[in-house]
Amino acid sequence: MSIAFLFPGQGSQTPGMLHALPNHPAVGRTLDEVSECLGADVRELDSEVALQSSVSVQLALLASGVSMARVLVEEGIKPEAVAGLSVGAFAAAVQCGVISLSDSVRLVKRRAEMMVQLYPTGYGLAAIVGLTERQVSRLVEEAHTEQAPVYVGNINSPRQIVIAGSDEGMTRVLDAARKSGARKAERLRVSVPSHCPLLEPVAIALRESLAKLHLQPPGQVYVGNVSARILRTPETIAEDLATNIAHGVRWYDTVTVLEELGCRLFLEMPPGHVLSELVKESIPGVTAQALGESSLNHALRLAARYSIPS
């Protein structure tokens, strides 16, 4: 049996998330490293006001995920595999040694800034629960127009689908989803249309920036966002980091691949619990724990039972 580290994406943020991290030397060193790269204290980015900005949200999520992963590693808990949803993929890539934290901070900051510049208002994400991918795809096709675009985004589980696009387009799909029997159809706390073709300019810019970096082969298994497959080279992981912003994330398939690899404990880095809940829903018989909702000692005891001796 082995362990997978999961890193959440935008929408999981909560006020005070960085201050709620464990009082551990690895956290302090990581937050200091991020702050030095930013030229400002990253700890100031987790206030309720600061988190109204997608830039602050994505940087805080990166800092939180990497901090907690480093705590676990320093305490002797090492993952067999990693995966991150959306911006969480950057934290996963840092954890498995593909990209440095400093380079990741600079890329995530640019990524978020470009997203906001392209679509400052009137766009975002919404979730539909209770309908299949095929059903949601049909509703999206019927609602989409050039003036009010809307797309299928992430496939979180067989019956939890995220859509992306304009407010008007998403409203049409959400209304139709409710009439079609969806258990839930609501907007998410994301103000940019992630994971759809509207953000292709961001993907192009990230691809160009990543091509200039010296990346390393992954030290653990890395499962990608777009293909939901194991990516074994720095080049393929760089492509995943660049392009996941303009493509839907097949998260259900990603979790399935991790389970097929033998992962039986899924540890979700803070904040939030969305990814661990999706694991519990999708793969009966495995254990998933949101570390933002447990003490460090509990997490270490749990992880110790699943660790493979080195």
What phi and psi values does residue 111 have, to the nearest 5 degrees? -55, -50
Question: Where does the chain show beta strands of DSSP type E?
Answer: 2-7, 81-84, 123-129, 150-157, 160-166, 184-187, 221-223, 230-231, 263-268, 287-290
Following DSSP, what letter does each residue of 197-223 receive, concatenated?
Answer: GGGHHHHHHHHHHHHTS-----SSEEE
Of the candidates 2, 12, 86, 191, the residue annotated as catalytic is 86
Residues 299 and 273 sit within 8 Å (Cβ to Cβ): no
Three-point CA angle 93, 288, 291, nearest 5°: 65
Rounded CA-CA distance 224/211 in Å is: 18
Q: Which of 127, 109, 122 is nearest to 12 (CA)?
A: 127
* Cβ burial, residue 145 (10 Å; 0-12/13-18/19+): exposed
> H or E element: which one contains 137?
helix 133-143
Of the candidates 144, 195, 247, 273, the residue annotated as catalytic is 195
Query: Is 86 among the residues known to form the active site?
Result: yes
Q: How many other CB atoms are there within 10 angstroms of residue 157's CB atom?
A: 17
Query: Is 247 among the residues known to form the active site?
Result: no
Q: Which of 274, 271, 275, 264 is nearest to 302 (CA)?
A: 264
Rounded CA-CA distance 214/234 in Å is: 9
Question: What's the token pair of residue 232?
Answer: 């074994």
Give the catalytic positions in this structure.
Answer: 86, 195
